[in-house]
Amino acid sequence: MKTKIITPEVVVAYSQCPQKAFLLLRSEDQGMPHEYVRLLEEQTRQNRIKYLHRIEQEHLGVSTGSDAALSSDENVPLDVHLKLHDLAAICDVLKKVQRGSSLGSHSYEPIVVVGTYQVTKEQKLAVLFVGYVLGQLQNQLPAIGIILGADGKAHKVVMESANRTLIPMIKELRQWTGSVPSTPPQVILNKHCPMCQFQEGCIEHAERTDDLSLLDRITPKTIRKYHKKGIYTVTQLSYVFKPRRRRKHRSKSPISFKVELQALAFRTGKIYIQELPTIHRHEVELFLDLEGTPDQDFYYLIGLLINKQGARSYHSFWADTPAGEQRIWAEALEMIKAHPDAPIYHYGSYEPRAIEGLAHKYQFDCAALKNRLVNLNASIDGKVYFPSRSNNLKRMFPIKKCAIFLSKCLI
């Protein structure tokens, strides 16, 4: 069994999924990190090397290695290993400030280097943990922590919430670091699963137990509600749905998503309809898809399918660097404007947000363009239930059956 030390990685994992944090602390098999996670780690490593080299060039004295660097009164502490009992963290740089502590008239604030351009809540939580451990060692909680992004920008994180945020987490995590075997938390699949190194084992467990969290739209709160009623599996949930007969003169209420009906569709392998969606056909129709990297606010691919009386043509606009983004958007926009009466179909909310972002960035009015957008997902959400666990196009199964159904709705 590996040494059970609570680190920023464990704390961040707990905020995403308690099961992941438990496995990091208690499991011998740590799994293989997702490719995207490894990419971010490599970007962080390169950014850290570049930043620490700059610090070494700008300061005559630096020290590295352990918390002994805290006692240094002249050097700039780099790559400092902070450890307090079962808490441990590595801080890239300690910034000296004139604020009294057990070290004397000065104390330190943490600087952590990351490989992303935008700061995530997980990165902020990690810095809070580093600041908390540092504060315990110098008997003075830092006022702020700094996250240094890939673009060199410094993002401040106020440390005053560290005690309130971290202490409950640390208290729970310490129950799993003892020598006595601990009961693992319940496996609940969530949005973080696709990038988790333990995903395969958790999905296998969830499928074996027919766990409610297999359904994409169900929330932990809803799961707890059904557990109180003695419903623990998707199969059990599928028998809960009872269709209600609509009264003729009753005012039409908005259609809402019913997780029980999703479970029923999945169990029976059938498509269930609460309301038949109707999408009117046009002589010319456009289908739009954008791909980008949210971290850099950069859209590198715009795909446009033009359907003109059954004849289809596909156009792709690529940008290898952010400098080419404006060009490909102008090219795509010119082709879209050539068909001013054609509806623009898309799936989900990503494309409208992207168009708004591009309009703000390049200063053009997107109101007319947005009025032409038709969200196919909104046309089926809560109305049509496919025999799948999700309406996500990458997960939907059987995709062929779903595609045939949607094509029949286009009248």
Structure tokens at 143: 């006022």
Instruction: Order across the sheet with 62-64: list the strands.
Output: 62-64, 76-84, 87-97, 107-113, 144-148, 154-158
Residue partners of 264: CB distance under 8 A and separation at least 6: 238, 239, 241, 272, 385
Residue partners of 338: CB distance under 8 A and separation at least 6: none
Query: Which of these ranges, 54-63, 159-168, 288-297, 301-310, has the smallest mean pLDDT?
Result: 54-63
Residue 399 has pLDDT above 50, yes or no: no
- How many domains, the chain? 3
Structure tokens at 219: 């929330």
Instruction: Please report whether residue 323 resides in a domain.
Output: yes
Residues 154 and 221 in one domain: no
Count of alpha carbons within 13 Å of 54, Cβ hemisphere only? 10
Q: Percent of the chain at pLDDT above 70?
A: 87
Place 90 in a pLDDT band, splitting at 50, 70 and 90: very high
Residues 327 and 222 in one domain: no
Cα–Cα dist 156/105, whole Å: 23
pLDDT at 21: 94
Instruction: Please report whether residue 114 resides in a domain.
Output: yes
Instruction: Please report whether residue 395 resides in a domain.
Output: no
Instruction: Please report whether residue 39 resides in a domain.
Output: yes
Residue 237 has pLDDT above 90, yes or no: yes
Instruction: Please report whether residue 104 resides in a domain.
Output: yes
Residues 78 and 163 in one domain: yes
pTM (predicted TM-score): 0.84
Full domain range(s) for residue 212: 193-243+256-271
Instruction: Please report whether residue 279 resides in a domain.
Output: no
Instruction: Please report whether residue 81 resides in a domain.
Output: yes
Residues 169 and 208 in one domain: no
Place 306 in a pLDDT band, splitting at 50, 70 and 90: very high
Residue range 138-156, pLDDT digits in tens: 999 999 999 999 999 999 9
Residues 167 and 43 in one domain: yes
Residues 261 and 363 in one domain: no
Residue 398 has pLDDT above 50, yes or no: no
Residues 260 and 325 in one domain: no
Residue 407 has pLDDT above 60, yes or no: no
**Is the Cβ–Cβ distance between 6 and 87 less than 8 Å?**
yes
Residue range 172-228, pLDDT digits in tens: 999 888 766 667 888 999 999 999 999 999 999 999 999 999 998 899 899 999 999
Residues 69 and 123 in one domain: yes
Residue range 321-345, pLDDT digits in tens: 999 999 999 999 999 999 999 999 9
